[in-house]
Amino acid sequence: MTDIKKLQKIANGIREDIIKMLVKAGSGHSAGPLGMADVFTAFYFNILNHNPKNPGWQDRDRLILSNGHITPVRYVAMAHAGYFPKQELMTLRKLGSRLQGHPERTRLPGVETTSGPLGSGLAQSAGYAYAARMDNKKFRVYCFCSDGEHDAGNHWEAVLFAGKYKLSNLTVVIDRNNIQIDGYTEDVMPLEPLEDKYKAFNWHVLHIDGHNMQEIIDAVNHAKAVYEKPSVIIAHTIPGKSVSFMENLPEWHGKPPTVEEAKKALHELRTLGGKIRGEHE
Where residue 65 falls (left for φ over 0; alpha for ψ -120 to 50; beta otherwise) is beta
pLDDT digits (tens, 9 = 90+) for 226-260: 999 999 999 999 999 999 999 999 999 999 999 99
Pairing label, strands 179-180, 183-184: antiparallel
Average pLDDT over residues 88-107: 96
Q: Compute and round to an integer the Cα radius of gyration of the chain.
A: 18
**Burial (Cβ within 10 Å: 0-12, 13-18, ≥19) of residue 192:** exposed
Model confidence at 276, pLDDT cuts 50, 70, 90, reads low
pLDDT at 2: 87
pLDDT digits (tens, 9 = 90+) for 112-144: 999 988 999 999 999 999 999 999 999 999 999
Model confidence at 1, pLDDT cuts 50, 70, 90, reads confident
Residue 193 preceded by cis peptide, ω within 30: yes
What pTM does this model have? Answer: 0.96
Domains and CATH numbers, the chain: 4-270 (3.40.50.970)
